[in-house]
Amino acid sequence: MPTPARLRSPTTWRILAAAVILVGALAVAALLRRVGSSGGATALGPLDTTAPHVGDPAPRFALRAEDGRVVNLDSFRDKPVIINFWATWCGPCQAEIPDLDQVYREYRSRGLVVLGVDVGETAADTESFRQRIPFGYPVLMDADGRVAKQYRVNGLPGSFFIAPDGTLRHVQVGALTRANFEYRVKQLLGE
C-alpha cells in the first residue's frame, strides 16, 4: 500500500488521472459500439433536418419494425399518430406502456396509430421485453438513435402527437398516464 508521501507524488496523480481517462474512453467506446451495432436497424431514407415545432409538419422518417418490415411515417397521413420514444431499460417507459397500450386498443378502431420507437437497442431486446410486458402497437427500431436526434428527444420516454393532417400538435417529455394519453388523442380526433 502506498505511503501518504507517495500519494502526494505528482507521478501518482498523473497515473491515476490517465487511468480514469482511459476507463472513461473505453466506456464511451463500448456504448457507441453497442448503439452502432444495429444490424441494419437504422433510419431508412432521408431525414428532415429541422427541429420539430408544434404546428409544423412532423419530421418524416422510415424505420424497420421489429418484424423487419419498413414503416414510413408518411403512410399514416389522414390518421392521428402517437410516436413514443422509449427503451427497455427505462423505468418510466415501462410504467407508461400499459396505459399507452390501453388507449391504443380503445382508439385504434377510430384510426389511432401508435408507433413505439425503441432507441439504441435491438429487436431481440424488444422481443424479450414484450414477453414480460406485452403490448399491441408496433415497435420501430432506432438502433443508432438518428430519428430520436431528428426529433430532438432529450429524455425517455418522449411522446409526439401528430394530427391527421401531419402537423405536430403536442410534445411530451416524460411519462404520461392513461388519462393524459386519452386527453391528447381526443384533441387529435377533434373531440
Q: Which of 45, 69, 40 lies closest to 139 in space, CA to CA?
A: 69
Calculate mean pLDDT across residues 154-175: 96
Angle at 99 between CA 104 and CA 183, to 5 degrees: 70
pLDDT band at 191 (very low <50, low <70, confident <90, very high): confident
One domain, residues 20 and 72: no
Above pLDDT 70, what percent of the chain?
Answer: 73
Q: Would residue 68 count as lying in a domain?
A: yes
For 61, phi and psi rounded to 5 degrees? -165, 165
Grid cell digits, residue 39: 444490424
For 92-117, the pLDDT digits (tens) are 999 999 999 999 999 999 999 999 99
166 within domain boundaries = yes
In a domain, 48, yes or no: no
What is the pLDDT of the chain when averaged over all its residues? 84
Residue 41, in any domain of the structure: no
Question: Can you give the CATH number for the domain in which 67 is found?
Answer: 3.40.30.10
Number of domains in the chain: 2
The pLDDT of residue 28 is above 50 = no
Same structural domain for residues 164 and 82? yes
The reply to whether 44 falls in a domain is no
pLDDT at 52: 84
Cβ 59 vs Cβ 70: under 8 Å: no
Q: What's the CA gap between 172 and 82, in Å, rounded?
A: 11
Q: Give the model confidence (pLDDT) of 29-85 as tens digits.
A: 443 344 444 444 456 655 666 668 999 999 999 999 999 999 999 999 999 999 999
In sequence order, which residues have a C-beta less than 8 Å from that of residue 177 and are 6 or more positions away? 96, 99
More confident residue, 63 or 14: 63
Give me the domain span that covers residue 177.
62-188
Beta strands of the chain (E only): which ranges?
62-65, 70-72, 81-86, 113-119, 139-142, 158-162, 168-173
Q: What is the pLDDT of residue 125?
A: 95
Q: What is the pTM of this model?
A: 0.76
